[in-house]
Amino acid sequence: MSRKSVVVILIVVSVFLSTFSFYMWQVLKTPNLRIGQKDGDFALLIPRGATFETVMDSLNKHDVVHNKLSFRFLAKLMKYTENVKHGRFVITKEMDNYDAIRKLRAGIQDPMNVTFNNIRLKDDLVNKLGNRFEFGSAKLGSLVNDPQVCQKYGFDTTTIMCMFLPNTYEFFWTTSAENFLDRMGKEYKRFWTDARKQKAEELGLSQTQVQVLASIVEAETKKKDEQPRVAGVYLNRLHKGMLLEADPTLVFAHRDFSIRRVLNRHKEIDSPYNTYRYKGLPPGPINLPTLNAIDAVLSPEKHDYLYFVARADFSGYHTFAKTYAEHINNAKIYQQALNQRNIMQ
C-alpha cells in the first residue's frame, strides 16, 4: 500500500472518528428536552408495569423530547429500554439525554407537594387527594368508607375527615393508599399535643368535637382574628344547652353551597346537621377546618355573647350580641343590606 493511500485512510478514519465523537457528544450532552417550552419542568409519571414505549408515548404526547432518535439511541445504549422504573420523575429543560436517562434508569423519584384545604365533602377530599397519587381516588374512597379502616385510626366513616389536617405535605407519587393514611394519622397525632388535649378536656370536648366545632367556625368566618370570638359564642351556647343554630350546618345539610341567605324553609330539613332542630354538635365536620380555626376553639375568647350576625358592610366580620332582642335588631340591619343588594337566596 502506498504512502499516499495510508494518508488517505488515516484522514478518512480521523474524519469518521471526529464525526462520530461529535455525534455522540450531541447525543449525550446537548440539551434535548422541553426545547422551546415556557411552562417549566415536566413531571413524568410512569405507572407500574410500564414499558419503554409507554415512556416514549408519554414524552411524545407532551412534546418533551426534541430529537427522539438520539434519545432512543442512548436509551438503548444505556440499557434503559430493559430497566424501566415506575414513579414520578421531574424532567427539566436544562437536562441532556444522558442525565435524564440515567435518572430514569436509576429510578430516582422526585417528591411532590400535596396541599389541600377548602374541602367540604368526603367525596371532594377523596377525589382531590386520590387523583394526585398512583393509587387513585377509587382506592382511597374504598378505605375511608371502610368502618374497620376508620376504626384503626380512632374514627368512624363520618368523622374520618377530622384526620386530614389542611396543610402542605411531601409525598412520592407511588406512595400506597395505606401508607398515605398512615402518614395522615401520624400528622394528626403530632398536631394533637398534650397541651391541645388538655385544652380540649378543659372545654369538655373530645378532639373530634373540637374539630367539628372548628369546621363551623371556619364556615362562619375566614377572619383569623375573629375566629376565637365566634368559637366563644358557640361554646357559650353549648354550655347553656342552647341550640347552636349555625347557618353553615343547614347549608351542609342541603348540600347546596350556593345558598347565601338561609331562610325559614331551609330550617325545615330533617338532618342531624340541622342545628336549628337538634341540640349539640352535628355528627361530623362540615368542612376541613384550618389549624387556626381548631386552635381558635381550643383558645376561645371569653365573653358573654350568645349571638352574632354578619356586618352590613359585607367586610366579612360580624356584629355580636348578648341578648336576643339586640341580635334581632342587628339581624334586621343585615337583612336590609341583603335586600338592597338583591340577595334573596
Interval 44-75: pLDDT, tens: 999 999 999 999 999 999 888 888 888 998 99
The pLDDT value recorded for residue 345 is 57
Task: In whole angstroms, give the CA distance from residue 280 to residue 234.
Answer: 10
The pLDDT value recorded for residue 283 is 96
Please list the residue range(s) of the chain that carry CATH number 3.30.1490.480.
Answer: 31-106
Copy the grid coordinates of residue 268.
325545615
**What residues are paired with 46 via a beta bridge?**
87
The pLDDT value recorded for residue 4 is 53
Fold of 31-106: Dna Ligase; domain 1 (3.30.1490)
pTM reported for the whole predicted model: 0.86
The pLDDT value recorded for residue 69 is 87
Q: Which residues of the chain have pLDDT under 50?
A: 6-29, 36
The pLDDT value recorded for residue 344 is 62
